[in-house]
Amino acid sequence: MEYLFDIFLISISAALINNFVLYYFVGICPFIGVSRQVSMAVGMGSAVTAVMTFAVFLSWTITTLILTPGAPLSAWVAGWFMSPEKARTIDLTIMTYIVYIFSIASAVQFVEMYVRRFYPPLYKSFGVFLPLITTNCAILFACLTVMSNVVGKANPAEAWDLGRSLALGFFGGVGFTIAIVIMAGIREELDLCDVPKPFQGAAITLIVGGILAMAFMGFNGVDTGIRSALGGL
């Protein structure tokens, strides 16, 4: 029960309260570039959600099994060359960034192959966005958030398990989709307005984004409210 509650709070926080785009400013490039039409925004959002979930799965697995100090796989391999106590202190976290960026690249490849093979209509709707996603900072940010919740925890029991990480990955993507779709809806209306020339294009998008961010600030503290309403800390 407590576990489900935890997952629920992580999801709500990733999707709304600390929205990736409007609170952490990751994924701004597609937020401004691909938010002209709602249909495009939905495609981009689904692509990001799919890749983010898969990339978080990959990075969580690699981090817990190999990279974190005392990880089982690296300790086992190192155990062939040194004493078990020493093997458990092997710290490969310096490799994290390189490993993550390549696991994102492979996640993009994998999702692209899978969707093209099994869901051709879906591929038509968001396939074109997939190659763009490798350099989308939102995905790397999700992986890094998972890392900061797995590596170097004072309390080993507090380290995130796969379920929590996947919740963050999936709902982080949902949050991105929400933001970009709202933005696209507003921009479709904006096309009918007479925007002053210097503001046309990115500038007005940013200002609308600012107002959206203000609106999303209203969600701040919702998680603490739910937490205290349900009596947990």
Partner 1 sequence: MNELPTPFERFVQGILPENPVYRQLLGLCPTLAVTNGLKPALTMAVAVGAVLLCANIMISLIRNLLKPHLRIVVFTLTIATFVTIVDRVLAAYMYQMSKTLGPYIPLIIVNCIIICRCEVCASRQGVVTAAADAVGQASGFALALTGIAAVRELLGTGMLAGFQVLPEAWPAWVIMVLPPGAFLTFGLLLALVNYISDHRSRKNA
Partner 2 sequence: MNQTLNSHRRSEGFRHNKLVQAWLVLLLAIIFGSALAAVQVNLSDVIAANKLNESLEQVPELVWGAAKAAELVENKVRIDIEPGILTVDTDGKKTVYHLFRVSMDRTLAGWVIRAGGQGYADKIELLIGLSPDAGKISGLFVLEQKETPGLGNKIIFSQWRDQYIGKDTQTPLTVTTGRSNAPDTIDAVTGATISSKSVTDIVNLTTRAVNGRLASVEYVKQ
Q: Which residues bind partner 1 (CB under 8 A)?
A: 22-29, 32, 94, 96-98, 101-102, 105, 135-137, 140-141, 144-145, 148, 196-199, 202-207, 209-211, 213-214, 217
Decide which of partner 2, partner 1, none touches 28; Cβ closer than 5 to 8 Å per partner kind: partner 1
Structure tokens that stand for 59 in this block: 């990075």
Decide which of partner 1, partner 2, none touches 77; Cβ closer than 5 to 8 Å per partner kind: none
Question: 42 vs 144, which CB is nearer to partner 1?
Answer: 144
Q: Are 122 and 36 in contact (CB under 8 A)?
A: no
Question: 79 vs 185, which CB is nearer to partner 1?
Answer: 185
Decide which of partner 1, partner 2, none touches 227; Cβ closer than 5 to 8 Å per partner kind: partner 2
To partner 2, the closest distance from the beta carbon of 94 in angstroms equals 5
Decide which of partner 1, partner 2, none touches 223; Cβ closer than 5 to 8 Å per partner kind: partner 2
Report the run of H or E that residue 57 belongs to, with start and end.
helix 38-62
Decide which of partner 1, partner 2, none touches 76; Cβ closer than 5 to 8 Å per partner kind: none
Q: Write the single-letter amino acid at 196.
A: P
Question: 86 vs 124, which CB is nearer to partner 2?
Answer: 86
To partner 1, the closest distance from the beta carbon of 195 in angstroms equals 10
Q: How many CB atoms lie within 10 A of CB 45?
A: 26
Question: 102 vs 199, which CB is nearer to partner 2?
Answer: 102
Nearest Cα neighbor of 32 from 214, 208, 202 is 202
Signed CA dihedral, 199, 203, 204, 205: sign only: positive
To partner 2, the closest distance from the beta carbon of 162 in angstroms equals 20
| DSSP assignment string, 89-144 | T---GGGHHHHHHHHHHHHHHHHHHHHHHH-HHHHHHHGGGHHHHTT-HHHHHHHH
To partner 2, the closest distance from the beta carbon of 157 in angstroms equals 5
Cα distances (Å, whole numbers) of residue 110 to 4, 48, 49, 104, 105: 29, 13, 14, 10, 9
To partner 2, the closest distance from the beta carbon of 169 in angstroms equals 19
Task: Give the separation between CA 120 and CA 127, rounded to whole angstroms.
Answer: 9
Question: 26 vs 62, which CB is nearer to partner 1?
Answer: 26
Decide which of partner 1, partner 2, none touches 199; Cβ closer than 5 to 8 Å per partner kind: partner 1
| Polymer length of the chain | 233
Angle, CA of 16, 161 and 84, to the nearest 5°: 145
